[in-house]
Amino acid sequence: MKAVAPATGSSFDRYISEVRAIWGSGNDPELAFKVKPLLENLLRSTNPDELWMAKLIEEGKQSNELYRDPALGFIQMGHNQQPGHRNAPHDHGPCWVLYGVYRGKMEITKYRRVDDRKVAGQARVEREEVHTLTPGVVYAYLPGDIHSTFAHEASVVFRFLSYDLTKVERYRYNLEKGSVSMVQPE
Ligand SMILES: [Fe+2]
């Protein structure tokens, strides 16, 4: 994945500096809720003409790694999602995630696991909450939170990952089959 590589002095660059400044050890259980307003501010204050944002939108790539912190491990992704784009229920294992919308409208459904976890490969989950994300709106999903996404419109979506998801153990859920399977770490 090629980074869009926002320039020094851009709103994105300032945002990353703000996240780095509050990160500390990275173990603060409130950290997701401290980064959330920083991402909200980025989404609400960045002009679509600002070079890095204009490039992200114009290139229209589905998935862009905008930034990966070499020391702290967090990653900021930027996505262009087509109307109807969906991602089946999944969790992010031990990581937390922020989803935010810059343009468009998406819906995130949160699920609660209701089985006793005694049968390997089986899981029963129920819909718990539906969040509607419009421009400038950010929601946090904490370690283990099961969620699915759906783009109502063509959307520019920002996803902040507390750590590289390809390196952790996490799961995907099939509602119809009542099954759960591990997303293989790379
Ligand atoms: Fe997710």
- Per-residue pLDDT of 164-182, as tens digits, reads 999 999 999 999 999 999 9
Say which CATH number the domain at 165 has.
2.60.120.10
Domain annotation covers residue 115 = yes
Domain annotation covers residue 92 = yes
CA–centroid distance, residue 160 to ligand 1 (Å): 10
Judged by DSSP in three states, 12 sits in: helix
165 lies in which domain range? 11-183
Domain annotation covers residue 51 = yes
Domain annotation covers residue 1 = no
CA–centroid distance, residue 126 to ligand 1 (Å): 17
Domain annotation covers residue 4 = no
Question: What is the side-by-side order of every strand in the sheet holding 64-68?
Answer: 64-68, 75-81, 155-161, 97-103, 138-141
What is the number of structural domains in the chain?
1
Helix and strand element counts for the chain (H, E): 3, 11
Render pLDDT for 78-126 as a digit per residue (tens, 0 to 9).
999 999 999 999 999 999 999 999 999 999 999 999 999 999 999 999 9
Domain annotation covers residue 132 = yes
CA–centroid distance, residue 90 to ligand 1 (Å): 6
CA–centroid distance, residue 152 to ligand 1 (Å): 17
